[in-house]
Amino acid sequence: MARKTITITIKDRDKDLAFQLTEMPAMKAEKWKIRAIMLLLSSDIEMPQGASIEEGINQFMVGGAEKLFKALSKVDVDKAINLFDEMLYSCVQLSTQGVNTQLNEAIIDSNVEDSSTLTKLRFECLKLHFDFLGEGGSLMPTGLGLEPQIKIQA
């Protein structure tokens, strides 16, 4: 079975940008998840006793923006940025006229105008890798607005 891949279109100010997101290989994804979970746990996030990691994070996320921001304020920002950049650069390609180009800072700076586009991409990458954010993810506050701005093509 091949790695999961989705194509999404995001409204970036006055234009639509298409991106292909591809799941990381299993070993790389597991190491990324471990580093991300350890970063969250080192920030004194309270996990419910007896809950699996997925259940705990889901319950935490459903707790609302206040709880999320309080916990994130304790995370080492440089480590978090490095993790999110690694995910973005590993998983996302910009699709332009049938050609896919792996994201890097130069590609982003020359094509993406709105920083919220990057936030949306990062969230979609998280959903691709953390299955438990998929169906129940609609309960999670994303701060991405009420109107659908992302079109996903299977």
Domain chopping of the chain, boundaries: 5-153
Digit-by-digit pLDDT tens for the chain (154 residues) are 789 999 999 999 999 999 999 999 999 998 998 898 888 778 766 666 666 666 666 666 666 556 666 777 788 889 989 999 999 999 999 999 989 999 999 999 999 999 999 999 998 998 888 765 444 444 333 444 444 455 555 5
Q: Are 75 and 111 in contact (CB under 8 A)?
A: no
**How much is the pLDDT for 128?**
87
Model pTM score: 0.71
What integer pLDDT is reported at residue 130 of this predicted model? 75
* Whole-number Å distance between alpha carbons of 109 and 94: 12
For the chain, the straight-line distance linking the first and the last C-alpha, in angstroms and rounded, comes to: 15
**Residue 44: what pLDDT?**
66
pLDDT of amino acid 129? 82
Task: Report whether 45 contacts 119 (CB < 8 A).
Answer: no
The pLDDT of residue 138:
40
**Ranges assigned E (strand) in the chain:** 5-12, 15-22, 92-96, 99-102, 150-153
pLDDT of residue 137: 41
Contacts of 121 (CB under 8 A, 6+ apart): 8, 10, 19, 21, 88, 92
